[in-house]
């Protein structure tokens, strides 16, 4: 805990001086006043280095960007210290000194500066919107108000870990099909730039008539070499234009609507919406957030814009007094089984266990959908590679046989 050197005058009018330990300068002043002292000056021990560090902080802020990546490691470290018996302020102060990662250390230093001025943890976190979203801040605020900060941190960390695992699973699922596409592209480039020119020179030198398949292969390869760059450029330009249009609200809603119509992507988007809804709302309600505030926060966690707009309308109806399951049924975005489980939770007066059960089920459903997605994509890519390689082999072998036959006849 920081130490403060003070000079003051006691009730008898005598000058006194000494040091006192307190979480912040404001707490030190409060403690000295409780002793009946009239404080003349209070300075933190080692205040000069601290002031220099605070003066350098703005420059460091620009050098080390603060992002969402610092959120989970910070909350995990804070939870470890809080559960060991430390106060939140003392835990943040200790982290600002001990932690080695530059971004986390900068974050903890900024939080401690605000905590030392008397701000609660939730308000200090609100000063870093790039790291902490509104849902995280509201959960911490609820934990502070109810005195259950450690439990709140544990639930929040579990929730964030589940989201991270889902993103990792998705990226892992896309890695194998991506590798197959790269290998197939490399095979095509090798054939076009190295193998085919040599074969074409050989066939030309033999002056034999080539079969149709070989002529198609040679003509397609020549067309790809001469004009392929234009098709690649057009594809890249189209992809960039589509991506930039998707960044707009109208483009995002239109592409999300298209996504829902696709055979595999549509059910996966619905499952993601149900998982985000059940996970987020369950965590918020379990930590004492009011239903109206929790629903609005949950709405921001739904990625698909079509579903988000429908959920917004459902939330309005819930705030007007309609049951959550009935309001969600009107959206057409939630499966019947999910609505039935929500109805059971509403009838029993405790919807949080139902939300947790829905989240667990849909984590398994999404895992199955990702496995199916990988199998389908991998099968399609492998089939395309096999067809391409088979056609190349057939065209070359048939050309060799036809040229050989023409030599025998001659």
Same domain, 34 and 84: no
Could you read off the pLDDT of 235-278 as tens digits, one per residue? 999 999 999 999 888 899 899 999 999 888 899 999 989 998 99
| Residue 292, domain CATH | 1.20.81.30
What's the pLDDT at 332? Answer: 87
Residue where one domain finishes, among candidates 104, 132, 160: 132
Query: Which is nearest to 378 in space by CA: 190, 189, 168, 173?
Result: 173
How many other CB atoms are found less than 10 A from the CB of residue 152? 24
DSSP code at position 9 = E
Element (H, E) at 103: helix 102-116
In-domain check, residue 215: no
In-domain check, residue 54: no
- Domain residue limits at 323: 261-363
Is 187 exposed, middle or buried, given 0-12, 13-18 or 19+ CB atoms closer than 10 A?
A: middle
Express as a percent the part of the chain with pLDDT over 70.
Answer: 90
Could you read off the pLDDT of 341-377 as tens digits, one per residue? 999 988 888 899 999 899 889 988 988 888 888 788 8
Q: Does the pLDDT of residue 57 top 50, yes or no?
A: no
Helix, strand, coil distribution of the chain in percent, nearest 5:
80, 5, 15
Query: Which is nearest to 358 in space by CA: 328, 329, 324, 335?
Result: 335
Mean pLDDT of the chain: 83
Joined together, the tokens standing for residue 144 give 């502070």
Please tell me the least confidently modeled range out of 198-212, 308-322, 368-382: 198-212
Mean pLDDT of 150-173: 84
Same domain, 41 and 67: no
In-domain check, residue 27: yes
pLDDT band at 60 (very low <50, low <70, confident <90, very high): very low
């Amino acid at each position: 805990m920081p130490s403060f050197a003070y000079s003051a005058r006691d009730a008898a009018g005598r000058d006194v001086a000494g040091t006192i330990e307190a979480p912040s300068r404001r707490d030190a002043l409060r403690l000295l006043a409780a002793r009946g002292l009239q404080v003349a000056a209070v300075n933190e021990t080692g205040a000069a280095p601290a002031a220099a560090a605070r003066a350098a902080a703005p420059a460091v802020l620009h050098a080390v960007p603060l992002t969402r990546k610092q959120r989970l490691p910070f909350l995990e470290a804070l939870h470890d210290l809080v559960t060991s018996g430390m106060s939140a302020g003392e835990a943040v102060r200790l982290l600002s000194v001990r932690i080695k990662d530059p971004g986390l250390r900068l974050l903890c230093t900024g939080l401690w500066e605000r905590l030392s001025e008397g701000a609660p943890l939730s308000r200090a976190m609100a000063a870093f919107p790039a790291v902490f979203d509104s849902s995280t801040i509201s959960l911490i605020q609820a934990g502070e108000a109810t005195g259950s900060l450690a439990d709140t941190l544990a639930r929040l960390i579990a929730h964030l870990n589940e989201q991270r695992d889902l993103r990792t699973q998705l990226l892992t699922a896309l890695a194998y099909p991506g590798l197959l596409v790269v290998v197939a592209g490399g095979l095509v480039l090798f054939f076009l730039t190295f193998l085919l020119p040599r074969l074409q020179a050989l066939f030309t030198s033999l002056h034999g008539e080539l079969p149709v398949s070989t002529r198609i292969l040679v003509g397609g390869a020549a067309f790809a070499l001469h004009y392929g760059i234009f098709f690649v450029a057009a594809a890249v330009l189209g992809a960039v234009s589509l991506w930039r249009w998707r960044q707009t609200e109208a483009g995002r809603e239109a592409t999300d609507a298209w996504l829902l119509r696709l055979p595999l992507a549509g059910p996966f988007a619905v499952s993601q919406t149900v998982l985000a809804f059940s996970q987020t709302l369950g965590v918020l309600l379990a930590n004492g957030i009011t239903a109206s505030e929790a629903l609005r926060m949950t709405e921001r966690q739904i990625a698909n814009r079509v579903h988000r707009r429908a959920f917004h309308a459902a939330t309005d109806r819930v705030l007007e007094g309609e049951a959550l399951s009935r309001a969600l049924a009107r959206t057409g975005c939630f499966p019947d089984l999910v609505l039935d489980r929500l109805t059971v939770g509403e009838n029993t007066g405790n919807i949080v266990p139902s939300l947790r059960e829905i989240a667990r089920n849909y984590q398994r459903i999404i895992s199955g959908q990702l496995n199916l997605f990988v199998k389908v994509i991998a099968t399609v890519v492998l089939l395309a590679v096999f067809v391409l390689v088979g056609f190349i082999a057939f065209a070359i072998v048939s050309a060799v046989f036809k040229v050989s036959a023409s030599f025998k006849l001659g």
